[in-house]
Amino acid sequence: MAQVQYDCSTGNHPNITNSTASPVGHEQIQLLLQVCKEAKKSAYCPYSRFPVGAALLTCDGKIFSGCNVENACYPLGICAERTAIQKAVSEGYVNFRAMAIASNTEEDFIVPCGACRQVMREFNRDWDIYMTKPDGTYIVKTLQELLPLSFGPEDLKKF
């Protein structure tokens, strides 16, 4: 599929008032849903047995996948969302348009933990998080909705 460019400039977002950002198209959403489901298969989660997969769409239209990677020293485990973000940043991508997340929970949409929301927020507030169920249904919220009144890089420049 041809790579799509997204307008990711601050303040320009379809779910935010006065926004003119490019919406994520249906095909691209379906691809994100597929990639996060596939990434879940690589989850290393022998302790929780709770596999999670993530698919991160950059503003350049590139997709990075991630899964949770646990450790015998429990606090060192990392979530799928942060794995995807670290893969992207380490390859030079820091502008993000959307992320989709998958787990095996049938009853509820998988939601990102607080730590992941803060890590997402480091790279802007104006992107979409698709929270899925295994049956392919999803809910979508902006990061701003998931983490209102957040602290970020701009706050360090205020004094």
**Residues with active-site annotation:** 81
How far is 157 from 4, CA to CA, in rounded Å?
Answer: 33
| Contact flags string 50-89 toward ligand THU, x per CB under 6 A | x-x---------------x-x------x-xxx--------
Binders of ligand THU in range 110-129 (CB under 6 A): 110, 112-113, 116
Residue 74 assigned as binding residue: yes
128-132 vs 96-103, strand pairing mode? parallel
- Smallest distance from ligand THU to CB 48, Å: 4
Provide the residue type at 156 as one letter: L
Q: Is the Cβ of residue 75 or residue 92 nearer to ligand THU in the bound state?
A: 75
Specify the amino acid at residue 18.
N
Q: How far is the CB of 4 from ligand THU (least distance, A)?
A: 26
> Is 113 marked within a binding site?
yes
Distance, in Å, from the CA atom of 37 to the CA atom of 52, rounded to the nearest integer, reads 8
Contacts 24+ apart (CB under 8 A), 23-26: 24/57, 24/97, 24/98, 24/128
Under rule CB under 6 A, residue 36 binds ligand THU: no
What does the alpha-carbon distance between residue 58 and residue 43 come to, in Å, rounded to a whole number? 22
* 45 marked ligand binding residue: no
Q: What are the residue ranges of helices labelled H in 41-113?
A: 80-90
- How many chain residues touch ligand THU (CB under 6 A)? 15
Residue 91 among known ligand-binding residues: no
Q: Amino acid identity of 130?
A: Y
Using CB under 6 A, list all residues that contact ligand THU: 45, 48, 50, 52, 68, 70, 77, 79-81, 101, 110, 112-113, 116
Annotated binding residues for substrate, written as ranges, equal 68-74
Residues in the annotated binding site for Zn(2+):
79, 113, 116
